[in-house]
Structure 1
Amino acid sequence: MSIFKAIFQAVYYCLWGDLFTIPLPGGSTLGISLLVLILIPSGIYFTIRTRFLPFRLFPEMLRITAEKRNKSREGAISGVQALIVSTATRVGMGNLVGVVAAISLGGAGAVFWMWVTALLGASTAFIEATLAQIYKEKDPLYGGYRGGPAYYIHHLFVKPGSPKKKSVIAILFALSGLICWCGISQVIANSVSSAFYNAFQIPPLYTTILLVVVSAVIVLRKYATVKVLDVVVPVMAVLYFLFTIFIMIKNAGLLPSVFRQIFEEAFGIRQAAAGGFGAVLMNGAKRGLFSNEAGSGSAPCAAAAADISHPAKEGLLQALGVFIDTLVICTCSAMIMLLTPAGLTDGLAGMDLLQKTMGHHLGEFGVIFIAVILWLFSFSTFIGILFYARPNVAYLFGDNWLSQTLYKILALIMLFVGGLAAYTFVWDLGDVGVGLMTVFNMIALFPMARYALDSLKDYEEKRKSNS
């Protein structure tokens, strides 16, 4: 076990630790991790190749969202429903506790760099989601369609007529995803049980049992997942957004100083002298990358399931999902924290810090509200990741209900254990899994990007000719 743990920690450090550091003025250093080294340049490259898609086509993203939905084939979901599923998993604890941690470690300036990574990540999200649409397959078990990185990676490495049945890289991606989502299940349950104990003094065992039972009822039914998320995700996102707007209006006089603080600290005007600019940039960038998941290959597992008239449409919808996650929900969490007097939260971290800030703004109701909203965020994340797991289980083990059901049961067990256990290194499975997914996904994304770019060109030409 100790050897396994040592290997695991080495992989974790290789993915998320600093591969090298760059010295900066004022004694600061900029640590560069492998994932930052992969994702930031990729985001810049794809933004240029798509001719600055996040800025140029943002109105088109909104138009597609409001577009009238055509009736989908049985078992299939619409493009907007695929966006809701991916939003369910993006909008999770990272938007609450993760943002708080980024600001605690990197200061207010970390928020600016989260915004930057979202703008860059939107183009990457477009490429991977469009590829997932291009290479989707019919799903014989659930109906509709399925796909994702495992499937387009397969097409890259396994040519038609080849005796090879599967691609090693595609297998590694699918395994990494299943490992990641089991790790996330544990963290989800622990955060929820902690929040409910703080808010209501409910013992973790009771909260965990309720979470597992409700989740089991949903995930073990064939078509319940998307129907539930269709209701839960919009409600939780709108509620969180509205309460944040209320808090911002209530503290309107402080907003100019908060935004000034964000921009001053983002560029190290204050941090450079203290040698902290590197922490500001990296905490913001890493949190932004982890939160919006662009490039990790998660969201394409939902994007492939969409029954939509053009692959580029789903790509644009998933690019919009990155904006919703980081520019809206993460910014809400940042505002809640930054509008709280600094001395009030000294020595606090994680859920305790977040609930303290909400208690400051909304009294006892704030503590209860954040516990309930975290329950909704976490519940929807768990439902969403099991939707992601479907095509990957099928790629690894074939089309059978046994393997699909066994993975769901394993995830439910992880959910139960996580609600009762204190932190263990097993929780880092989520970080390691998403890191490995990103590496394997990006291996295919660069050589295959031209197909997504061709799809974008075709879509824009058809739009122009019809207008």
Structure 2
Amino acid sequence: MDEINDWLLTWGDNLWTWIIVPVVVLLGLYFTARSGIVQFRLIPEMFRTLTDRTPRTATGEPQSVSAFQAFTISAASRVGVGNIAGVGTAIALGGPGAIFWMWLMAFVGGASSFIESSLAQLFKVRDTDGFRGGPAYYMQRGLKARWLGIWFAIILIVCFPFAFSSLQANTISATVSGSLGDDAAPWLPWAVGIGITLLTALVIFGGVRRIASVTQALVPTMALLYLLLGLAVVALHIDQLPVVFTQIFTQAFGFNEVVGAAFGYIVLTGVKRGMFSNEAGLGSAPNAGASAAVTHPVKQGLVQTLGVYFDTFLVCTITAFIILVSAPDLTSATRGIGLTQGALVSTLGEWSNIALTVIIFLLAFSSILGNYYYGESNIEFITTKRGALVGYRILAVLAVLAGSVVTADLVWNFADGVMGLMALTNLIAIALLSGIAFRLLKDYTRQRREGRNPVFTRALMADVEGIECWEDELSVTGPIDIVEKEHEARKHRDHLHGAPKL
């Protein structure tokens, strides 16, 4: 087992160092420049589109999940162990400077996130629950390369509902055992795993709408609880905050690093852990983004970019501050959840260990649900046979049980390598299709300048093949009565009057 773990670690590090990191950085900078820094310029639009009215069918039912529900599905996957155990791992391996590179890559990656989720909306398809789509779909419909879409779908299924969900379950199990101390019974991980497995099965066999309703409740709750816990720790060590900022910025470039990490390794650690956490450009969030019913593809591009910021600048930063304000000894720090647990207990006392266990459960369980949905969308891309979906659900549930009892290092290293292959495949695809996304952005900003709530129809891009939805304005917006139309128009005119230029 140790030999396999060492091989996975070496293979994954080489893949990220020599291929993934250069591609992620260069494409992120290219998308940033070509889009006019869309990830900064349209921040007000991100918040506005998050609460957009959901288009309805002729019978008055929502066409699919709302923009906010799609945000919570993607946030459920993003905000998990990567924000607590992953940040702790980044600090243990790369020191405080790794956090700077996580921040920087979240901003640069915001442009990649915008491109991939806008494309996923454009090339989405209809199913019985509403809409589905993602990178596999825009690879087939936009690039005319179904083989590439199948390759991506297989990698994603292995990576998210299997490897990443196993990792989430592993973290729940480890946190429960840690909160009970060294005397925890050896059967406890199995008991925890069975409990998580049963809860997962109850939700995922209910379909995407049940997943959306659960994540809509869980994500805001867990974020608020964790934020309050983090603020309490920071408040008790407020005098250390200037020191922490100094460490993050000075050690980002290898100056006076306390863990002996070279500059390149600090950067690599920040980029890897940042992408694992916020998933910008990875090709996962577009699967959630495509499920939303919105009136213009750019709206979900903006919402999913906001998801990157929510994950990194809020949740990851709180974890970093919890750890660093307690001034830990990083020379002997262990990877994973231990740093965060130790910082909380040393500051707030033993009760905080129980509180963290509850928060970890909420974070990780919601991530398991989000990861599952990504896999389901890609199973349906490969085949629509009912038996395949049922078999996938059973395997996804078993992966949760297995993750509760396996070695964490093996899962981390396997997930890193598979994530690298997935990111590379998706980044190549969105680079080839980015011209279409820039056209969508141009159309969106034109309509906003005209004071309209942007509506896209495929007639606006008649030369682009493979667009299934977006037939006409009525099918996109759904039936809206005259009073509501006037209210929408007035609201957007008022917003535009006081808004900055797009």
What TM-score comes out, normalization by structure 1 length? 0.89
Report the secondary structure of 1:32's partner residue: helix
**Letter aligned with residue 94 of structure 1:** G
**Match in the other structure for 2:173:** 193
Identify if the C-alpha distance between structure 1 residues 115 and 344 changes in structure 2 by more than 3 Å, giving closer, same or farther: closer
Structure 1 residue 344 displacement after superposition? 9.2
Counterpart-to-counterpart distance in 2, 1:322 and 1:441:
17
Counterpart-to-counterpart distance in 1, 2:269 and 2:361:
25
Identify if the C-alpha distance between structure 1 residues 138 and 128 changes in structure 2 by more than 3 Å, giving closer, same or farther: same
**Match in the other structure for 1:378:** 364
**Match in the other structure for 1:313:** 299
Pick from 406, 423, 438 the counterpart of residue 453 of structure 1. Answer: 438
1:137/1:146 contact within 8 Å kept: yes
Structure 1 residue 233 displacement after superposition? 0.7
Counterpart-to-counterpart distance in 1, 2:101 and 2:85:
17
Report the secondary structure of 1:48's partner residue: helix
Report the secondary structure of 1:340's partner residue: coil
**Match in the other structure for 1:18:** 14
**Letter aligned with residue 77 of structure 1:** V
**Match in the other structure for 2:241:** 255
**Letter aligned with residue 20 of structure 2:** L
1:130 aligns with 2:118: yes
Counterpart-to-counterpart distance in 1, 2:352 and 2:259:
37
**Letter aligned with residue 168 of structure 1:** W
Report the secondary structure of 1:301's partner residue: helix
Pick from 39, 51, 58 the counterpart of residue 43 of structure 2. Answer: 58
Counterpart-to-counterpart distance in 2, 1:364 and 1:2:
34
Report the secondary structure of 1:145's partner residue: strand
1:208 aligns with 2:183: no
Q: Which runs of 5+ in 2 are unaligned?
A: 452-495, 497-502
1:268 aligns with 2:247: no
Give the % identical residues.
Answer: 36
Structure 1 residue 381 displacement after superposition? 0.7
Counterpart-to-counterpart distance in 2, 1:93 and 1:319:
20
2:71/2:304 contact within 8 Å kept: yes
1:179/1:429 contact within 8 Å kept: no
1:280-359 equivalent positions in 2, closer than 5 A: 280-343=266-329, 346-359=332-345
**Match in the other structure for 2:156:** 177
1:391 aligns with 2:377: yes
1:84 aligns with 2:80: no
Counterpart-to-counterpart distance in 2, 1:434 and 1:274:
26
- Report Cα offsets for 1:273-300 as digits up to 9, x if no partner: 9672222222112211221111111000
- Report Cα offsets for 1:7-29 as digits up to 9, x if no partner: x947x755x3236xxxxxxxxxx
Identify if the C-alpha distance between structure 1 residues 170 and 120 changes in structure 2 by more than 3 Å, giving closer, same or farther: same
- Report Cα offsets for 1:106-131 as digits up to 9, x if no partner: 11111111100000000000000000
Identify if the C-alpha distance between structure 1 residues 401 and 327 changes in structure 2 by more than 3 Å, giving closer, same or farther: same
Counterpart-to-counterpart distance in 2, 1:113 and 1:157:
32
Counterpart-to-counterpart distance in 2, 1:354 and 1:172:
37
Counterpart-to-counterpart distance in 1, 2:335 and 2:156:
28
**Letter aligned with residue 87 of structure 1:** A
Counterpart-to-counterpart distance in 2, 1:230 and 1:302:
13
Identify if the C-alpha distance between structure 1 residues 209 and 2 changes in structure 2 by more than 3 Å, giving closer, same or farther: closer
Structure 1 residue 438 displacement after superposition? 1.3
1:153 aligns with 2:139: yes
1:156/1:444 contact within 8 Å kept: no
**Match in the other structure for 1:115:** 103
Question: What value does the CA root-mean-square deviation take over the aligned residues?
Answer: 2.5
Pick from 155, 167, 174 the counterpart of residue 146 of structure 2. Answer: 167
Counterpart-to-counterpart distance in 1, 2:404 and 2:374:
22
Counterpart-to-counterpart distance in 2, 1:270 and 1:440:
37
**Match in the other structure for 2:397:** 412
1:101 aligns with 2:84: no
Counterpart-to-counterpart distance in 1, 2:235 and 2:410:
41
- Report Cα offsets for 1:376-429 as digits up to 9, x if no partner: 1110111001111122101112x2322112111101111111212334746644
**Match in the other structure for 1:26:** none
**Letter aligned with residue 217 of structure 1:** L
- Report Cα offsets for 1:243-266 as digits up to 9, x if no partner: 212222222111111111111112
**Match in the other structure for 2:219:** 233
**Match in the other structure for 1:47:** 32
Q: Which runs of 5+ in 1 are unaligned?
A: 20-30, 159-165
Structure 1 residue 136 displacement after superposition? 0.4
Identify if the C-alpha distance between structure 1 residues 440 and 343 changes in structure 2 by more than 3 Å, giving closer, same or farther: closer
Count matched residues. Answer: 442
**Letter aligned with residue 35 of structure 2:** T
Report the secondary structure of 2:230's partner residue: helix
1:216-231 equivalent positions in 2, closer than 5 A: 216-222=201-207, 223-231=209-217
1:107/1:280 contact within 8 Å kept: yes
Structure 1 residue 346 displacement after superposition? 4.2
**Letter aligned with residue 14 of structure 2:** D
Structure 1 residue 342 displacement after superposition? 2.2
Report the secondary structure of 1:77's partner residue: coil
Identify if the C-alpha distance between structure 1 residues 369 and 71 changes in structure 2 by more than 3 Å, giving closer, same or farther: farther
Pick from 268, 279, 295 the counterpart of residue 265 of structure 2. Answer: 279
**Letter aligned with residue 119 of structure 1:** F
2:130/2:291 contact within 8 Å kept: yes
Structure 1 residue 56 displacement after superposition? 0.9
Structure 1 residue 75 displacement after superposition? 6.3
Please identify, of 246-255 and 331-340, the stretch whose mean Cα deviation from structure 2 is larger: 246-255
**Letter aligned with residue 74 of structure 2:** S
Counterpart-to-counterpart distance in 2, 1:70 and 1:247:
43
1:367 aligns with 2:367: no
**Letter aligned with residue 319 of structure 2:** S
- Report Cα offsets for 1:72-91 as digits up to 9, x if no partner: 75561011111110111011
